[in-house]
Every structure is written in structure tokens, then in C-alpha cells.
Amino acid sequence: MSVITSAIFEVQEFTLLSTRAVTNLFKKPRYIQDTLVQMDIIGVGSLLIIILTGFFTGGVLALQSSKSLKAFGAVHLTGQLVSLSLIKELGPVLTALMIAGRVGSGIASELGSMVVTEQIDAMRALGTDPSKKLVTPRMLASTTMTPLLTVVADLLGLVGGWLVSLYSLKLNSSLYWNTALRSLDYNNALEGLIKPVVFGFIVGMVGCYFGLRTSGGTRGVGLSTTQSVVTASILVIVADFFLSKIILELQY
Amino acid sequence: MIAIRFERVTKMFDDQVVLKDFDLKVRKAETKIILGGSGSGKTTILKMVLGLVKPDQGRIWVNDRDITDLSEDELMDIRKEIGMVFQEGALFDSMTVGENVAYPLREARRHTPEEMEAAVRRLLGFVGLADAFDKMPSELSGGMKRRVAIARAVVHRPSIVLYDEPTAGLDPITSRTICDLVIALRDLEGVSSIFVTHDLSAATTLASEMAIRESSGQVTFRSENNEFCLANTRFVILKDGQIIFEGTDESLDTAEDEYVREFLT
């Protein structure tokens, strides 16, 4: 198979699995318990890394931007810069990249191990559709938890930016929060929430896809895990560009 | 009734022919022991019965229903009639032994938790692992895992059970225990099965012993010796994707084919 045909084949297989995962939402049986477990693993389990990522990103944004803003005598706008950058771009993208590293890799290695130890075949042999029991709960959990984690990252980022502004830049607290919150409108918030839904879907589905197509024993599991993280990260960044473009077009 | 029927089935992986014009019939309560070297297509046959692998040519019937062209959703109903014991057990390692064995019942969504637990405990007792209920698969030895896999394969009372080398690499005592379970299911429960192996001693035990339930309820095993000939267990030997021998253990002993003789020694 040439590189082009194999790439087309991969896209086709990924699309088929994604379609199946979504249509499963409307079919019985539904694995609610499995979905809740996945939500706990993905959502609660990723909370600490998201808090740290958000907090320090907000802090460093305030630190770096203040220097440029000072040149224009606009240090008082630090809050606005931190909040807009975080909520529209960095919050969703960094959260999705962290989730790809922690959750996407976990999904790929778990499903990959199940493939090489014949557990997926055993599941099908016992009359269970793995796309219903394994893929749909992970896709749903990742799609719903990523926006929630993004909100946490955004909030902690604002707090990080505020602490830097307060203690390092010696800015007034109310000035920071005023510019930070006043600059946000409904569209910014919506953009900051639509993106992580798409990113969460990408990370969950890419993890499941690479996990389920694992072959070649434990080495194959390692390879699937790496491929899932790399592919999910690239797709998140590419999707971010196109989503930003579409949203900007729609706004004007 | 014929439980499993293959008619002129051909299967290729890339350019390699795994099965060629393969025919097989397994009647009700019959066991077919499939012998063959590594890569001779033994596991592929079992996966084809379940519809996990589709044939390139030919047709397959399970319980008199043609499954060749069924979709994944339609196959789910057929698979509920079949139990499969995978080579290494393939237990779900995120679940306890009890949850593993209860899995087919939980998926059927017809049983109360009490009914499920009673059935699982009965089955675990049957395979001699009554106290493993709360253990995780990682705490079990290879032989124990396969016995749990047998319990999981038969808990929903399937009419067909497929065994993929369940005795490979096990000590003679554990291997014998597994053979006893297979014989008991065949003779006492009327289960039809395909037993894939290259363990000749396990195959000979299956083909030469029968299980009887005494009036006291106790199960005993009786060897055919020279008194009778078990007709419900037959050997099938594969070479290059085709059957080169089919018959009882007695006819296997007198077979003249060079490959068969070589295989037996």
C-alpha cells in the first residue's frame, strides 16, 4: 500500500470509528457506569496538572506581557491581555495538550494492551460491541470533561496573573480584575468553550483509534501510545487554527 | 442439528493461504479436536465461527444459521450462543474473577445480582476455584486463568464452546483438570465444541474418556479401553490449510499419512 492510500485508509477508519462512537449515544445498551468512571479518571484525575498548568501560564503571561505593555505605557491593561489570551487561546489549547499527554496516552495504552492480550476479541466473543463499551464512554467523558477542565485552567490562570500583577508589577487588584473581566464578552467566552469540546473529542477519539489498531505485542502498545499523543497534539493545534478562523469569520 | 458447518472456506492473510476449501461439520454434543502445527490456521477457524474473522470464500453456518454475511450487530446475537476460551485466558484485567465470570450474565441484563452471584459461585466451584471470587486476574497462575476463562465461557450456558489451546504450557495435573471440564461439558451438558491444540496427550484424553453422573450425583470418568469407542469426539489434522485426516482416535492410530505419523511421534 502506498503512503497516500494508507493515509486515506487511516482517515476513513478514524471517521468510521468516530461516527460509530457518536451514533452509539442513541443506541442501547448504554454504559452509563463506564462513562462515569471515565469522567472521574479524565476529569478529577487531571485536575492537579490542569491547576498547575493554568496557574503558571497566567503568571508567566502577566510577567512577559508587562514588559511590552510598559513600552506603550499600558501596564494597567495586563489583566485584559492575560484574560483574552488565556480564555480564547492558551486555556483551551494547553488544557487539550495536557489531556492528550495524560489521558490520550492512557486510553491508547489501555486499549492497546487489551488488543494484544485478546481482551477486545474476548469482549466481542461475549457479545459486547467494544465501540459501545469502550470507545463511546471515553469519547463522551473526554468531550465533556475538557471544557470543564479548561474553565478551571482559565480561572487559575487569571489568579496566577493577578498574583504576579499584585506582587511583582505592583498593580492595583481592582484594576487587574476590572480590565480582565470587562474585556470579556459573550463571544470570547463562547469561543473559549467551543474549542475544548472539539479538542476533547479529538483527544478521546485519537486515543481510542490508535489503541484499537494496535498490533505486534507490547512494542506495538508503546508505538500506539506515542502515535496517539503526537497525532492528538498536532490535530489540536491545527483544529485550533481553523476554529479560530471560522469563529472570527462568523463574528464579523 | 449441526452446530457448526464450514463449506469450502478459503482465507488468506496478505498473500499467505491459511485455509483452502476447508470443510468441517460439528454436530450437537460433538467435539472436534483440531491438531496442526503453528500457523496452520487453527485459531483462525475459531475466530471465523464467532465472526471475528470473515472468510474470503465459502460459507459458515452456526446452529443452522448462515453467518457469513451478517453485520457486527447481527453477529452479537449469534455470539451469545457461543463461549470461547482464549489461548491465555484473555480475562479482563480491570475486573475481579467474579466480575469476569459474571460478565456475560451482566451483559444479558436479565439477571438479578443475587442470581448472577449464585451462578458465578457455582461455576467457580465447578472449575475448582471457589475461593478466587474476589481475586484479580493478575493474582492467578496461568492454569487458574484458563479455568476462570472456561467458567466465563460457559456461565451463560452456550450450546457451543470453542477452546483455543487451553492446555498449552501447563503442567500435566492442571491440563488433566481442564480436560475433565471439557469432557464433563460435552457429556453432561451436551455442549458442541472445537478443541484446538497441539497437545497430543490432552487430545487423547478427550477422545478416550467419557463423563458419567452417578445416581449419587457424583461425576466419574471412564476410559473407553477396548470396551467401547467414543464416537462423539473426532480428530481433524490440518496441513497447509487443508484437512489431511479426520476420524476417531482408533483410526488415527492406524493412519498411514506420513505427516500424520510424524505429528503423532
Range of the domain at B64: 2-81+158-264
Q: Are B23 and B243 in contact (CB under 8 A)?
A: yes
For residue B136, is it within any domain?
Answer: no
Give me the half-sphere count of Cα atoms (radius 13 Å) on the Cβ side of residue B83. Answer: 26
pLDDT at A1: 66
pLDDT at B243: 86
Q: What is the end-to-end Cα distance of chain B in Å, rounded?
A: 36
- Are B152 and A126 an interchain contact pair (Cβ–Cβ within 8 Å)? yes
For residue B142, is it within any domain?
Answer: no
Beta bridge partners of B238: B243
For residue B119, is it within any domain?
Answer: no
**Of B15, B44, B72, which to mutate for an interface test with A (greatest number of A Cβ within 10 Å)?**
B72
pLDDT at B216: 84
Secondary structure letter of residue A25 according to DSSP = G
**Residue B58 neighbours by CB distance under 10 Å:** 18
CB-based contacts of B161, cutoff 8 Å, min separation 6: B82, B83, B84, B85, B153, B154, B182, B185, B191, B192, B193
For residue B130, is it within any domain?
Answer: no
**In chain A, which stretches have pLDDT less than 70?**
1, 252
Where b means 16+ CB within 10 Å and e means fewer, B32-49 reads bbbbbeeebbbbbbbbbb
User: What CATH number corresponds to the domain at position B211?
Assistant: 3.40.50.300
Q: Does A116 touch chain B (CB under 8 A)?
A: no
CB-based contacts of A8, cutoff 8 Å, min separation 6: none
pLDDT at B126: 80
Q: What is the end-to-end Cα distance of chain A in Å, rounded?
A: 45
CA angle B72, B77, B80 (to 5 degrees): 115
Report d(CA B40, CA A32) in Å as an integer. Answer: 42
Query: Which among A29, A118, A128 is the nearest to B90, CB-wise?
Result: A118
A25's grid cell: 449515544
Domain ranges of chain A: 31-246
Report d(CA B196, CA B202) in Å as an integer. Answer: 11
Residues of A with Cβ-Cβ distance to B152 under 8 angstroms: 126
Q: What is the mean pLDDT of chain A?
A: 93
- Are B104 and A127 an interchain contact pair (Cβ–Cβ within 8 Å)? yes
Q: What is the pLDDT of residues B7-24, one digit of tens each?
A: 999 999 888 888 889 999
Q: Does A40 touch chain B (CB under 8 A)?
A: no
pLDDT at B219: 83
**In chain B, which stretches have pLDDT less than 70?**
226
Query: Which among A119, A122, A129 is the nearest to B76, CB-wise?
Result: A129
Q: Which residue has the cell 489570551?
A: A85
**Of A27, A113, A126, which to mutate for an interface test with B (greatest number of B Cβ within 10 Å)?**
A126
CB-based contacts of A221, cutoff 8 Å, min separation 6: A109, A112, A113, A116, A214
- Are A129 and B86 an interchain contact pair (Cβ–Cβ within 8 Å)? no
Residues of B with Cβ-Cβ distance to A119 under 8 angstroms: 90-93
Q: Which residue has the cell 460459507?
A: B59
Report d(CA A112, CA A225) in Å as an integer. Answer: 8
- Are B88 and A117 an interchain contact pair (Cβ–Cβ within 8 Å)? yes
B140's grid cell: 492467578
Q: Does B104 touch chain A (CB under 8 A)?
A: yes
H or E stretch covering B221: strand B219-223
Angle in degrees, 0-180, between the axes of helices A136-167 and A78-85, rounded to the nearest 10? 170
Report d(CA B41, CA B243) in Å as an integer. Answer: 11
For residue B25, is it within any domain?
Answer: yes
Q: Are B6 and B23 in contact (CB under 8 A)?
A: yes
pLDDT at A12: 95
